[in-house]
Amino acid sequence: MEAVPQPRTDAAPADEPAPEPAAAPPASGGRRSLAVALLSGAAGAGLTLLATGRTWATGSAVLAQGSLPRSVTGSDVTGVPGALAVVGLAALVAVFAVRRAGRIAVAALLTLSGLGTAVAAVLGLSDTAALREKASTAVGVAGTDVHHVTYTLWPWVTAAGGALLLVAGLLALLRGRHWPAMSGKYERTPGGARGPRRAQPPADPDRPEEIWKSLDRGEDPTR
């Protein structure tokens, strides 16, 4: 009696479906860096402009009959931080209006604005030239010296504002390529030519205002 052949159990398994491609990484990192840069840049510029209007140092001009107290603001000591804060704020806005190389250039300007703001604020900590100038104006004698000079915390607040601008600039340099740009629907087509104009609907002869509009456009409403 012949043996009945048994089915093979080592048959190759059916082809498994190909694995799905990995999903693209979420853009949450780009959005997060964008939010941090916006908050940091706006806060840094605002903080700098606020701090430069406050008193940075006080002192006393020596007179024959006593002393005359004088004080100077950050703007009196140096106008660099305030000017750079305005430049940095403008650069922060301009980051979204440009692309590619232009965005890198604007981000570099924002970074340098923050760095310059912080450095100028630190250098102004020991500057007594503005105090001496105010003392000379009050006394009426050139070269009047000042004594008992004290400094407030506002120069350090200005330096902190510059550091925030610097952070915004570095984020724009490192992550700016992932940020969105302003819509280009109003931009001209390549070569300077504008896109095709949308055809205007024909004027309705029963509506006089439509006839006047077509005449203003140089069209013949009777066609």
pLDDT at 222: 61
Q: Give alpha helix (H) positions in the chain.
A: 28-52, 74-77, 80-94, 100-123, 129-139, 154-175, 208-216
Tokens 């479906």 belong to 17
Reduce the DSSP state of residue 12 to 3 states and report it: coil
Look at the chain and count its residues.
223
- Share the mean pLDDT of the chain: 77
Reduce the DSSP state of residue 83 to 3 states and report it: helix
- pLDDT at residue 2 tops 80: no
User: Please, are residues 171 and 36 in contact by the beta-carbon 8 Å criterion?
Assistant: yes
* Residue 114 burial class via C-beta count within 10 angstroms: exposed 0-12, middle 13-18, buried 19 and up: buried
Q: What is the pLDDT of residues 158-199, one digit of tens each?
A: 999 999 999 999 999 988 787 876 654 444 544 544 545 555
Q: What is the pLDDT of residues 9-62, one digit of tens each?
A: 554 454 555 555 444 444 566 778 888 999 999 999 999 999 999 999 888 877
Q: What is the pLDDT of residues 131-159, one digit of tens each?
A: 888 777 766 667 677 778 888 999 999 99
Angle at 177 between CA 110 and CA 84, to 5 degrees: 5
pLDDT at 1: 46
pLDDT at 206: 56
User: Please, are residues 113 and 168 in contact by the beta-carbon 8 Å criterion?
Assistant: no
Query: 2-11, 65-74, 100-109: lowest mean pLDDT where?
Result: 2-11
Q: Which position has the higher pLDDT, 207 or 217?
A: 217
